[in-house]
A and B are shown apart, each in its own frame.
Chain A
Amino acid sequence: MLACGLLCAAGLGLSTPEPQDAQQRPSTQLASVDFARDVKPILDGRCIECHGPRKRKGDLRLDQRLSTLAVVAPGDSARSLLLERVLSTDSMERMPQAGPALEPQQIETLRRWIDAGADWPAELENAFVAPAHWSYAPIVRPQLPGDVALFPPSEALDALVAAQRDKHGLSASPPADPVTLLRRVSLDLTGLPPTLARVDAFLADPTETAYELVVDGLLASPQYAERMTQWWLDLARFADTNGYEKDARRSNWPWRDWVIDAFTANMPFDQFTLRQIAGDLLPSATLEDRIATGFCRNTLVNEEGGTDAEEFRSAAVVDRTNTVSTIWLASTLACAQCHDHKFDPFSQKEYFELYAYFDNTTDTGNVLEPLLRLPTSEQARQEAELAARTADLRRQLAQCPAPRSLVHAQLVPARYTPQAQLLEEELQQRDAELAALRGHVATTLVLEERAQRRQTHVHLKGSHLSPGDEVQPGLPAVLSAKDPHDPADRLAFARWLTSKDNPLTARVIANRLWARLFGRGLVASLDDFGTRGDAPSHPELLDWLACALVDSGWDVRAFQKTIVMSATYRQSSHVHSDLLERDPSNVWLARGPRLRLEIETLRDVALFAAGLLNPQLKGPSVMPYQPDGVWAPVYSNDQWSNATDAERYRRGLYVFWRRSSPYATFTLFDAPSRELSCTVRARTNTPLQALALLNDPAFVECAAALGKRALAEGGEQDAARAAHLFRLATAREPRAQELDVLLDLLAIEREQRGGAGGEIDSAEQAAWTTLANVVLNLDETVMRN
């Protein structure tokens, strides 16, 4: 676009001379400018992005000599549009449009180069070579300064953070107080606050050793596995429905339980990767390995009549390609689906070479198959029994003398013998029982490889209806040091993802795990490690962490332990105006981060404080209370049925997820629809959220239970009860003035409701519910501090 302007301007009289005369111009008196050394870096660094091989804005290419002569008058900088535009003070005119103006000495270099005849050596005719981008370079373990190399990992981490922080003239915050730290690490690792008993124990012994024991305990708990699974479900776009218009239910929760098991067992991340992408192709694939491939089947299925199965199969394969590119490679390969990537080194052909790894499975775009049946052992026993019995009945019936037409006749013909009639009746009953039993057997979606390789073509303009050249599975050139077609299949590709040949995954996953704890990645663009993404704030730390992750055998638990043991993590999150001004986003980690809890965690915290939380692990998704009319299914009578038993107090990660209509309160707090992979949830702060936490009957129920709990457990005095209530939500003792506010509220609520405070009647309960409602809405409760 901007070069259009250049050329237009050229047409308006700023014409360029013919190249021939240019070369005969005498050179100027100043010291000579070398094109390769002095000029090309300026063009490559600041101009080529728009006026280069990819974008060619205005048909101008400053990587090509002839094209450049359209805006350069050799020997006459005053008549060269290039110079006029880099010098312009009009922000609409000035080049480059993106970023700051060129440095005065850069402009001077260009001027001297032009005045000297704009020499452009023939061997550099088409000279642009993209500079190596940091994230595609092999990971090299950074050399830590002297003694730091000998530090325990978390202290080495601190040293790397401190180096950058010092450089920016900031200093570390003091450690968070023990209660805040305990609540922080508990919420981060398990998604639940600490019990008051644990708070008391830690307060009595807030030592390094005690902290480490706490951390080890948290990491070993099943709640840790649930917390990590909740993180993974957004990335893996897990849902309980198929998506698209009909969005009918599906059963894929056994895959979700597989993830919980994997985190419980601390499965190394490379194995975790391998099984989800290609568990079915492992030489001796177990049932679990096949269940793991449900990750790939979290794609949408379009069951609407009249749909083109191939269109939606192709959409699912595209989604698998994009999801894997996003989660493991933090690469915006999706951009190369319709055309070559505009900024990163991925061609459209390379996109479909990657797509080809996923293009050879048997699933279609409009049915759920292939499915794996997962009967419990009891179901399997019953099924075998019933199957044997029905087979036996059929055999007996066949031997009956009376003529029979159909086994499944609606009416038993009268000419049956009484004996045959009895057999027939039992058979019908047993068949019905068998069908019902089979209907109750859990199923899960899996991948199955086709026996014969499907031909994969480039989709011209991204349309599966316009096949281009045939392609073979392969890696983008920038990521493959060796033969691009090795890895040859999905299994080999999954292995490559976490191999040392791939520079991205270790960095990307280390960055994701870091961001989970700090709310911000060392690379802020968690999903874009490409040229348009953010550069790492701490490149050494990132590579050091990536190496640590790989060298530990992809031990995710140990990796997170290193971080939470660090002083960096344990800093106070208090902000000061000076700090806020100098580092608003906390890039340099001069304080601990404060983050609004994710809604599932927020809900778990309320249930936990209220003493209602049902700790049951795994199993089918549940339907806790949500208001009538929220779940408006299209084209079906499928109903949300509010659980009335303890199921409604299960943790948030088990809540049924309908893609077209996720759980209402979750949506208000930025939960994604899970139609596509979501790796970062926004953390907004809105009035609709306030209304939900104040008035959602599910939260009000928690407030009532919390109020009751304070009355039952908090001793006899109002002050002690209010303090207990406050602690159950925030983990800490209220300060005197905070307690005063609560007690004042209690007094007036009690008075307004006609309660005397002497006995626990309904008025007294209501007053305490109001108090609990306030405490559950405190900023401190809603945040992880």
Chain B
Amino acid sequence: MDPVSERTRRLTRRHFLGDAVLGAGSFALASLLARESSAQAALGMPAKPLAARAKRIIFLHMAGAPSQLDLFDPKPKLAELDGQPIPESFTQGERFAFIKGTPLILKSPYRFARHGQAGHEFSELCPNFARIADRLTVVRSMHTTQFNHAPAQMFLTSGHERIGRPSFGAWLSYGLGALNQDLPAFVVLTSGQYGPDGGASLWSSGFLPGVHQGVRLRSSGDPVLFLSNPPGMDALSRRRSLDALAQLNQMQFAQRQDPEIETRIAQYEMAFRMQSSVPELADLSQESAATLEAYGAEPGKQSFANNCLLARRMLERDVRFVQLYHWGWDSHGTGTGDDIVHSLPERCRECEKPSAALIEDLAQRGLLDDTLVVWGGEFGRTPMNERRNGSTFLGRDHHPHAFTMLLAGGGFAPGVRLGETDELGYRVVKDPVSVHDLHATLLHLLGLDHKRLTYRSQGRDFRLTDVAGEVVRPLLA
């Protein structure tokens, strides 16, 4: 083993914490944390042993899993063998979510072309990704361990298929703290007909202190739960009652001297600031017509486009981790509502333009340099037609062995394309990237060593990457 890297590797959290100069966010974080967890709070303070390439991250999770074979990973062989049984060598010992019997190969109904200097291949369903091809880093060799939505989403989110581990955003909030004292560090937005299959567990703080859990910005009612004053109470009245509350709590502090009381006073003040900062954040009408047009956003509507624009407003305000979920990519082909001929193009229309607009907008505002963008689903889809109960609609079943992710921003090498799948797109044959590898790489770019970002629970140290994960160097600029 190389002694130098060994030496670097042994720079433990404990050590660099001792030397680290605490950043601006640390005070807010410390005060957010309970007195009881102040030891953890100390561990959660900004501390950067590595040079961070990025400060923020936005994860665009396409819940249901988009078909890589119809969008990003063209396989001419599928057209050649369309309708024929897939060779048994591929499917021996395989378990599918829905496919029964010997499955038949399904070609993509879409044309692909190369785009940009990078020569990334996109199908005709992705004209906007095609336009910004040279900003994108493409990984065609993603693979996962789960083939049902909820566990696969949990895995992509928390590095573990079962519920109970902290999600990525919670780890980041714990590891780096908040950059903005008026907004939570980890915000979640959902769109589509339903929420993601994994539900609120996807933004859980797991065993980390509850303060790190994702705050879901709601698209109807209060953007943050209980943000609005009760009917009949205006901001002035709220201010007066908070002043009275602060005075009374001060008197209590003078009596009891418990610093928890001071923290409580500070939290009520932050709550008051959030009452103005969050609605201001959520108010899309402040955006120009051109911007709204670029995203396809319409103020007041529940849509992925609106969420992308909201996300940009959050990133501008230095929210650490913005997580978007859009439901509806589960193209089984049981009807027009979930096939690759009608439903898939519909999802692309909803998501593809705003996703590209977001990346361009971040670039124009100089935010892309230190913001990571991740776009993809929890697994891929089969090269075979699902034909559930003899359905004549075209669709693909869940496929954990190979799928594609798009990456952009802070520290990723634009234009790079990594990984290959076999001629049917069934398995990865070159440069496989696991979910843990992806997490390790993202943390690396955010200035955290995934092996050192740990939290003790149930008698041992846990990591986002469990006991696996390697930084995928070829993806880095």
Q: Which of B184, B196, B220 contacts A628 (CB 8 A)?
A: B220
Q: What are 24 A-B pairs with beta-carbon distances under 8 A? A: A9-B3, A245-B149, A344-B459, A594-B258, A627-B226, A634-B195, A682-B209, A685-B35, A685-B263, A686-B210, A687-B268, A687-B271, A688-B184, A688-B224, A688-B226, A691-B226, A695-B227, A737-B251, A741-B244, A745-B241, A766-B232, A773-B230, A778-B249, A783-B260
A685 touches B264 (CB 8 A): yes
Selected from B12, B264, B274, B460, the residue in CB contact (under 8 A) with A691 is B274
Within 8 A of B (CB), among A626-673: 627-630, 632, 634-635, 660-661, 664-665, 667-670, 673
Q: Which of A9, A12, A533 contacts B459 (CB 8 A)?
A: A533
Q: Min CB distance, A682 to chain B, in Å?
A: 5
Interface code B1-28, partner A: CB below 8 Å = 1, 0 otherwise?
1110011011110010000000000000
Stretch at the interface among A101-109, A202-210, A568-576, A611-619: A568-576
Which of these binds chain A: B83-91, B197-205, B362-370? Answer: B197-205
Q: Is residue B334 within 8 Å, beta carbon to beta carbon, of the partner chain?
A: no
In the complex, whether A779 has a CB less than 8 A from a CB of chain B is yes
A342 within 8 A of B: yes
A777 within 8 A of B: yes
A64 at interface by CB-CB < 8 Å: no
* Cβ contacts under 8 Å, A741 to chain B: 244, 247-248, 251
- The verdict on A200 contacting chain B, using a C-beta distance below 8 Å, is no
Asked whether A155 is an interface residue with its Cβ less than 8 Å from the other chain, the reply is: no
With an 8 A cutoff between CB atoms, is B237 at the interface? yes
Q: How far is the CA of A527 from the CA of B198 in the complex (A)?
A: 28
Chain A, Cβ-Cβ closest to B212 = A684
Check if A385 is an interface residue, CB within 8 A of chain B.
no
Q: Mark A714-743, 1 if CB is under 8 A from B, else 0.
A: 000000000000000000000101100110
A580 & B241 in contact (Cβ 8 Å cutoff):
no
Contacts of B3 in A (CB 8 A): 5, 8-9, 12
Say yes or no: A306 contacts B237, CB within 8 Å: no
Task: Verify if A226 is at the interface (C-beta below 8 Å from B).
Answer: no
Report whether B148 and A307 are in contact in the complex, using a CB–CB cutoff of 8 Å.
yes
Contact in complex: B150, A1 (CB < 8 Å): no
Q: Is A629's CB under 8 angstroms from B270's CB?
A: no
Nearest-Cβ distance from residue B92 to partner chain A, whole angstroms: 16
Please tell me if B110 contacts chain A, counting CB pairs below 8 Å.
Answer: no
Q: Is A360 interfacial (CB 8 A cutoff)?
A: no
In addition to A574-B257, A629-B220, A694-B268, 17 A-B residue pairs with Cβ atoms within 8 Å of each other are A8-B1, A8-B3, A9-B3, A92-B15, A97-B12, A528-B458, A528-B459, A627-B222, A632-B195, A685-B263, A687-B271, A688-B224, A691-B274, A741-B247, A744-B244, A779-B261, A780-B252
The number of chain B residues touching the other chain, given as a range, is 35 or more
B211 at the binding interface (Cβ < 8 Å):
yes
Q: Give B89-129 as 1s and 0s: 1 = Cβ < 8 Å from A's Cβ atoms.
A: 00000000110000000000000000000000000000000
Q: Is B241 touching A774 in the complex (CB atoms < 8 A)?
A: yes
B221 touches A627 (CB 8 A): yes
Interface status of A415 (Cβ within 8 A of chain B): no
| B residues lining the A interface (CB < 8 Å) | 1-3, 6-7, 9-12, 15, 32-37, 97-98, 148-150, 162-164, 184, 194-201, 204, 209-211, 213, 215, 218, 220-222, 224-230, 232-233, 236-238, 240-241, 244-245, 247-249, 251-253, 255-261, 263-264, 267-268, 270-271, 274-275, 458-460
Q: Indicate if the CB atoms of A335 and B459 lie closer than 8 Å.
A: yes
How long is the Cα–Cα vector from A692 to B200 in the complex, in angstroms?
18
Evaluate contact between A335 and B201: CB separation under 8 angstroms. no
Q: What residues on A are CB-neighbors of B224 within 8 Å?
A: 688, 691
| Docked complex Cα distance between A1 and B8 (Å) | 12
Q: Report the Cα distance A697→B227, complex, angstroms.
A: 11
Within 8 A of B (CB), among A74-99: 91-92, 97
Report the count of interface residues on A (CB-CB < 8 A). 95
- When the two chains form their complex, are residues A306 and B218 in contact, meaning their CB atoms are under 8 A apart? no
Question: Which residue of B195, B204, B245, B459 contacts A774 across the interface (Cβ within 8 Å)?
Answer: B245
Quick one: which of A739-756 are within 8 Å of B by CB?
A: 741-742, 744-745, 748-749, 752
Give the interface centre of A334, A533, A691 by most chain B CB atoms within 10 Å: A691
CB pair B244 A580 closer than 8 Å? no
User: Given the complex, which residues of A lie within 8 Å of B274, measured CB to CB?
Assistant: 687, 691
- In the bound complex, how far is the Cα of B11 from the Cα of A527, in angstroms? 29
A91, A688, A782: residue with the most chain B Cβ atoms closer than 10 Å: A688
CB pair A91 B267 closer than 8 Å? no
**B202 CB to closest chain A CB, in angstroms?**
10
What 1/0 mask marks residues of chain A from 571 to 597 whose CB sits below 8 Å from any chain B CB? 001111100100000000000001010
A9 CA to B3 CA in the complex, in Å? 8
CB distance from B251 to the nearest CB of A (A): 6
When distances are taken between beta carbons in the complex, the residues of chain B under 8 Å from A700 are 230
A306-B97, A673-B201 known; A245 vs B6 contact (CB < 8 Å)? no
Q: Which residues of A contact B458 (CB under 8 A)?
A: 326, 332, 334-335, 527-528
Query: In whole angstroms, how far apart are the Cα atoms of A9 and B6 in the complex?
Result: 11
The distance in angstroms between the C-alpha atoms of A342 and B137, with both chains bound, is: 40
| A685 & B148 in contact (Cβ 8 Å cutoff) | no
**Is A594 touching B260 in the complex (CB atoms < 8 A)?**
yes
B9 to chain A: closest residue by CB: A1
**B257 pairs with A575, CB closer than 8 A:** yes
A395 at the interface (CB under 8 A from B): no
Selected contact of B256 from candidates A2, A245, A574, A738, CB within 8 Å? A574
The closest CB in chain A to the CB of B183 belongs to A687
What residues of B have a CB within 8 angstroms of the CB of A310 in the complex? none
Q: Cβ of A594: which chain B residues have Cβ within 8 Å of it?
A: 256, 258, 260
> In the bound complex, what is the Cα–Cα distance between A732 and B11 (angstroms)?
53
B209 A684 Cβ-Cβ under 8 A: yes
The CA of A660 and the CA of B203, in the complex, are separated in Å by 11
Q: Is the CB of B199 within 8 A of A632?
A: yes
B33 proximity list for chain A (CB < 8 A): 684-685
Is the Cβ of B264 less than 8 Å from the Cβ of A779? yes
Q: Identify which of A334, A574, A661, A685 contacts B34 (C-beta below 8 A).
A: A685
Given B6, B204, B221, which contacts A673 in the complex, CB threshold below 8 Å?
B204
Tell me if A770 counts as interface (CB < 8 A to partner B): yes
Could you tell me if A779 and B244 are in contact, using CB atoms closer than 8 angstroms? no
Partner among B11, B34, B97, B275 whose Cβ is within 8 Å of the Cβ of A684? B34
- Are B248 and A774 in contact, with the CB atoms below 8 A? yes
Question: A707 within 8 Å of B by Cβ?
Answer: no
Task: Known A675-B163, A778-B252; judge A634-B197 contact (CB<8 A).
Answer: yes
* A690 and B198 in contact, given A244-B150, A683-B36 (Cβ under 8 angstroms): no
Determine the chain B residues whose CB is within 8 A of the CB of A523 once the complex forms.
Answer: none
Given A335-B460, A668-B225, do A683 and B34 touch, yes or no (CB 8 Å)? yes
Contact A770–B233 (Cβ < 8 Å):
yes
Nearest residue (CB) in B for A782 is B264
B396 nearest CB across to chain A (Å): 16
Measured CB to CB, the closest approach of chain A to B19, in angstroms, equals 10
- A737 to B252: give the CA distance in the assembly, Å: 11
A291 on interface, CB distance cutoff 8 Å: no
Q: Which of B6, B218, B275 contacts A4 (CB 8 A)?
A: B6
Shortest distance from the beta carbon of A576 to any chain B beta carbon, whole Å: 6
Q: With an 8 A cutoff between CB atoms, is A15 at the interface?
A: no
- Whether, in the assembled complex, A164 has its beta carbon less than 8 Å from a beta carbon of chain B, the answer is no
Q: Who on chain B is nearest to A577 by CB?
A: B257
Q: A residues within 8 A CB of B225?
A: 627, 630, 664, 668, 688, 691-692, 696
Cross-chain contact B194 with A632 (CB below 8 angstroms) = yes
Report the nearest A residue to B253, measured CB to CB. A779
Enumerate chain A residues within 8 angstroms of B36, measured Cβ to Cβ: 519, 682-683
Complex Cα gap A519–B230 (Å): 34
For A294, list chain B residues within 8 Å (CB). Answer: none
Closest to B149 in A: A245
Bound-complex Cα distance A751 to B245 (A): 19
Chain A residue numbers with a CB within 8 Å of B229 are: 694-695
Contacts of A254-273 to chain B: CB distance below 8 A? none
**CB-CB under 8 A for A745 and B271, given A5-B3, A332-B459:** no
Contact of A92 among B7, B97, B268 (CB under 8 A): B7
A312 to B: closest C-beta gap in Å: 11
